Chains A and B, each alone.
Chain A
Amino acid sequence: MSTAKQLPRWADLILLPLVGLAAALLLSAGIIALLGESPTQAMKLMVDGAFGSQDSIGYSLFYATNFIFTGLAVAVAFHAGLFNIGGEGQAYIGGLGSGLVCLWLGNWPFWAVLPIAIAGGAGFGAAWAFLPGWLQAKRGSHIVITTIMFNFIASALMTYLLVNVLIKPGQQSPETREFASGTWMPFAHEMLARVGLNFTSTPLNFAFVLAVLASIFVWLFIWRTRWGYALRVVGQSHDAAVYAGISPARITIMAMSLSGALAGCLGLNELMGSQHRVLIDFPGGAGFVGIAVALMGRNHPLGIFLAAVLFGALYQGGSQLTFDMPRINRDMVVVIQGLVILSCGALENMFRQPLTVLIGRRSVSPARKS
């Protein structure tokens, strides 16, 4: 394929992911039709289930909060040319960090606990990603493989800790005791009630605001600081980075640590905001949804926010769907998620080529008028 024509920037950033999403949804509709249900009816139910009431909006945004954190984590590593598929493990270990803080500082006031809990989650998550980053930078171990291995090691470690160490005495299920209520994230309905607004009781909580702040922080960091600049240079070209006096090894370690810190914040929403205890497998695949979210959102915080809301809506709408269509179960949402990763990520070039032919501009024709 010749590179004489190129996609304009807006098409690359907005049209291409939308076309990919449309293709994924069309395929999903085909699967739903094959299962003997009406795709249009299913779509209607899902949209209604995701945004139809205050209750569903609250749940959609609650799920979205998790995905913002894990999506940002994937994106930060991606800008440095690294593929972090360890978000799941980093979120798991990070949640342990926040959880321990909440268990220990139960009688502290919330606003004193919060910064320490954030530091705990981000710190533990960062530490779990630091190791693969360090191994990649200093020992040349492939980051994709090590982060996968670290997911399994995290899972084994957490099972051990929850079954043998942290379990609430006299209880069967491997989970800690409940956090003291003073350390719970304020719920959105409580906060809105304080300013006189009525909102149904949902798990949506203050962590959503933290996720938005994290998005802004990532934007500032990547595009407005010298570290972010160095990170992008390393992602574009190792040689250029070395030539510019940037150490790719240091940037790799930094990017992975920041990525892990972001994933580690998942516990702020899931544990401090909703479960109020540390329990087995609480990330529930959110680390992998982060890959889809980052791809869909073009690794830009604004795109990630929108994609996370979309996936939050898919999760909430999907659980609604299973109530009304017994032949379709929750796993359909996972199928859609996989299809989105496929069409927005792996098969991107399949859509890029025809789009470029249709609306591409010549990139090497400075003499051209208009």
Chain B
Amino acid sequence: METYTLIVLLLAATIRVATPLLLAALAGMFSERSGVIDLGLEGKMLGAAFAAAAVSATTGSAWLGLGAGVATATALSLLLGVACVTYRGNQVVAAMAVNIMVGGLGPTLAVAWFNLGGQTPQLDAAGQRFTAIVWPWASVARENPFPGLLYAELLSGHNLVVYFAALLVPATAWVLYRTRFGLRLRAVGENPLAVDTAGISVTALRYQAMLISGALCGVAGTYLSVAASSGFVRDMTAGKGYLALAALIFGKWRPYPTLAACVLFAFTDALAARLQGVSLPLVGIVPVQFILALPYLLTVLLLAGFVGRAIAPRAIGVPYSKEK
């Protein structure tokens, strides 16, 4: 029974860790499917995390924080669009620039505005955060291990953003595979010349993709600072943007496999937290660092074709030019 409860709690933790990964990975799905390498997920999330926490702290409204987070990440995404689509700059360079700039800008503004050593004030007043939504009878159901505990821990008790992220997976799949926009988006990442020849603007499509990517990164960043924790701290994305990118690659740029990859990566993360210093039968103490490095190792193995094969959109990373 003890083990069962532990596993359920581990799965609940997995859901919480997977949410920002999933949001960022789906954000990347739009931009990468349109042919733009989105290493900027990290910076867009971090910028949104800061803006959301700062606005929520000053206005007292988590919703205004969300708006600020989405607006900030979208603006950063547009900046990437200007650099990568309009001026056909190197996409990796542009993304690294944004990541590094945002990494410095957040603490800089936080110090100037709040003077708390690079953090934003704690969000503890009512309405400043997205808190857990408890479903009806969850506390009663908790008494019953199966299925009551599953209901109380896995279905109930998450904040709004978690449910939004879960719904976003079928929504993304529908947009990508069942709408005209999705068809064009997939086409422009594979063969922009064909799209252009058909009289559809490559530039407009890629900008739309960048807008969606920015908005979703905004939600992901807001989740980190305003829902999962209470405020912004320096470098709070801590590589989650890159991990999301790894999940996107691991999911072969498809919505449901990407969901599975996010859950897998989040599970390793939750497991590492649980296994800290715990001795397991047969294997002894597993180094936490090994478990934490597992998602990156798996992605490298996948990219190398040792476990399955991940084939990127064909035109990814190549700026489109009408003249050439």
A residues near B, CB below 8 A?
Answer: 1-2, 31, 35-36, 83, 85, 135, 139-142, 144-146, 148-150, 152-153, 156-157, 159-160, 163-164, 288, 291-292, 295, 327-329, 331-339, 341-342, 345-350
Are B289's CB and A157's CB within 8 A? Answer: yes
Contact residues in A for B112 (Cβ distance below 8 Å): 35-36, 327-328
Are A152's CB and B242's CB within 8 A? Answer: yes
Are A329's CB and B111's CB within 8 A? Answer: yes
Distance, CA A331 to CA B82, complexed state (A): 25
Are B100's CB and A338's CB within 8 A? Answer: yes
Which of A148, A163, A333: most chain B CB closer than 10 A? A148
Confirm or deny: B245 has a beta carbon within 8 angstroms of a beta carbon on chain A: yes
How far does the Cβ of A22 sit from chain B's closest Cβ, in whole Å? 16
Contact string against A for B residues 182-225, beta-carbon threshold 8 Å, 1 for contact and 0 otherwise: 00000000000000000000000000000000000000000000
Are A345's CB and B101's CB within 8 A? Answer: no
Are B97's CB and A141's CB within 8 A? Answer: no
Are B299's CB and A345's CB within 8 A? Answer: no
Are B97's CB and A345's CB within 8 A? Answer: yes
Contact residues in A for B111 (Cβ distance below 8 Å): 327-329, 331
Confirm or deny: B165 has a beta carbon within 8 angstroms of a beta carbon on chain A: no
List the 6 shortest-distance A-B pairs measured between CB atoms, nearest first.
A338-B101, A334-B104, A346-B94, A156-B293, A141-B303, A341-B97
Distance, CA A70 to CA B295, complexed state (A): 27
CB-based nearest A residue for B99: A338
Confirm or deny: B304 has a beta carbon within 8 angstroms of a beta carbon on chain A: yes
Distance, CA A153 to CA B289, complexed state (A): 9
CB-based nearest B residue for A351: B87
Q: List 21 A-B contacts (CB under 8 A).
A: A31-B108, A35-B109, A36-B112, A83-B90, A135-B300, A139-B305, A144-B92, A148-B242, A149-B297, A288-B100, A292-B100, A327-B112, A329-B107, A329-B111, A331-B104, A331-B106, A339-B101, A341-B96, A347-B87, A347-B89, A349-B89
Distance, CA A150 to CA B83, complexed state (A): 27
User: Please, how many residues of chain B have a CB less than 8 angstroms from a CB on the other chain?
Assistant: 49
What secondary structure prevails in chain A residues at the interface with B?
helix
How far does the Cβ of B98 sit from chain A's closest Cβ, in whole Å? 7
Chain B 279-324 residues near chain A, CB threshold 8 A: 287, 289-290, 292-293, 296-297, 299-300, 303-306, 312, 323
How far does the Cβ of B128 sit from chain A's closest Cβ, in whole Å? 25
Distance, CA A144 to CA B96, complexed state (A): 11
Are A288's CB and B89's CB within 8 A? Answer: no
Contact residues in B for A85 (Cβ distance below 8 Å): 92, 96
How far does the Cβ of B38 sit from chain A's closest Cβ, in whole Å? 11
Are B94's CB and A145's CB within 8 A? Answer: no
Confirm or deny: B15 has a beta carbon within 8 angstroms of a beta carbon on chain A: no
Distance, CA A329 to CA B116, complexed state (A): 12
Distance, CA A364 to CA B101, complexed state (A): 40
- Please tell me which one of the listed residues B37, B101, B105 contacts residue A342 in the complex, with CB atoms under 8 A apart: B101
Distance, CA A288 to CA B98, complexed state (A): 12
Are A348's CB and B89's CB within 8 A? Answer: yes
